Amino acid sequence: MDNIAVKVDDLTVAYNYKPVLWDIDLEIPEGVLMAIVGPNGAGKSTLIKAILGILKPIAGSVTIYGNPYDKQRKLVAYVPQKGSVDWDFPTTALDVVMMGTYGSLGWIKRPKQKEKKAALEALEKVGMLAFKNRQISQLSGGQQQRIFLARALAQNASIYFMDEPFQGVDATTEIAIINILKELRKAGKTVIVVHHDLQTVPEYFDWVTFLNVKKIATGPVKDIFNDNNLTKTYGINYKVSIQK
């Protein structure tokens, strides 16, 4: 835990009057695979969106490797919930993945061979190369999720934020995705995942943040993923048998 990849200070977000996130301080060390867990309405997605500047926080600041997020955007990739876009949009899988390269291209410049190559490589990594010319409306839910993952991979970032990448995908896709995430970690990248399935936390992740409007706890899974923190977060007596 030498380098801090993401540092969040005093982050507060509110819709209307009620705060969705209250005074979040968070340090995410480089190279961890971190789950954000918490009940519905705990602000998990909001936390990611506020860190990425999609939502405007009421207060607080985000730094990436010690510099303001605005200056470090190229280090950060985002995988939104797949339900957030219209999959009937007239475009192909390869085209969507290519969008991952738009950020480094900047304004006006068109993607060229180099960008196409990056996109194809990303498609191959998620096992979707055969579908590159497929119209995106003809992809299954799991395939759509892989395409979103590939788009983030094409960004070639250091830090990845993913909003429920396992939602509504079958077991095969879930295993494929988690393997990619573990590979990212092996390559020294930092991966932050909004996660719902508490059972798989110890198996998939090495770092965890408990969130319920306030930050309950954050740290290594082996130290803090216990009944005490689960109960504090979910408000009911949690008896998950955790294999350590």
Partner 1 sequence: MDIQEYFSLVFSDYTLRTITLGTAILGAVTGMLGSFAVLRKQSLLGDAISHAALPGIAIAFLITGAKDSNILLLGALVSGLIGTFWIRGIITKTHLKSDTALGLILSLFFGFGMLLLTFIQKQPNANQAGLDKYLFGQAATLVESDVWLMAGVTVVCLFVLLLFWKEFKILLFDADYTKTLGFNTKFIDVLITTFIVLAIVLGLQTVGVVLMSAMLLAPAAAARQWTNSLGIMVFLAAIFGAFSGVLGTAISASQNNLSTGPIIVLVAATVVVFSFVFSPSRGLLFKQIRFIKNRRDLELHKTLAFMYHIAETHEDISHPHTIKILNNFQGYTRGTLQKLVKKNYVTLDGNMWSLTEEGFNTAENLYNQQSTSNE
User: Looking at beta carbons only, is 48 or 180 nearer to partner 1?
Assistant: 48
3-class SS of residue 182: helix
User: Looking at beta carbons only, is 5 or 96 nearer to partner 1?
Assistant: 96
Given a contact cutoff of 8 angstroms between Cβ atoms, the answer to whether 43 and 33 are in contact is no
And the tokens for 145?
Answer: 């999720």
- The verdict on 189 binding partner 1 (CB under 8 A) reads no
User: Looking at beta carbons only, is 112 or 186 nearer to partner 1?
Assistant: 112
Interface residue with partner 1, options 4, 7, 14, 92 (CB under 8 A): 92
Footprint (CB under 8 A) of partner 1, residues 70-89 = 73-74, 76-78, 80, 84-86, 89
- The verdict on 169 binding partner 1 (CB under 8 A) reads no
Other beta carbons within 10 Å of 75: 19
Smallest separation, CB 181 to partner 1 (Å) = 19
Distance CA 65, CA 50 (A): 17
Q: What DSSP string runs through 17-59?
A: TEEEEEEEEEEEETT-EEEEE--TTSSHHHHHHHHTTSS--SE
- The verdict on 103 binding partner 1 (CB under 8 A) reads yes
- The verdict on 108 binding partner 1 (CB under 8 A) reads yes
Given a contact cutoff of 8 angstroms between Cβ atoms, the answer to whether 231 and 201 are in contact is no
CA atoms within 13 A on the CB side of 127: 12
Q: Give the H/E segment covering residue 150.
A: helix 141-154
Distance CA 214, CA 11 (A): 10
- The verdict on 175 binding partner 1 (CB under 8 A) reads no
Interface residue with partner 1, options 60, 111, 168, 202 (CB under 8 A): 111
- The verdict on 53 binding partner 1 (CB under 8 A) reads yes
Interface residue with partner 1, options 12, 14, 120, 135 (CB under 8 A): 135
CA angle 152, 157, 162 (to 5 degrees): 45
Smallest separation, CB 146 to partner 1 (Å) = 11
Quick one: which segment of 97-105, 179-187, 207-215, 227-235 binds partner 1 (CB under 8 A)? Answer: 97-105
Q: Which residues contribute to the site for partner 1 (CB under 8 A)? A: 49, 52-54, 73-74, 76-78, 80, 84-86, 89-92, 96, 99, 102-103, 105, 107-111, 135, 137, 140, 142, 151, 155, 170, 172
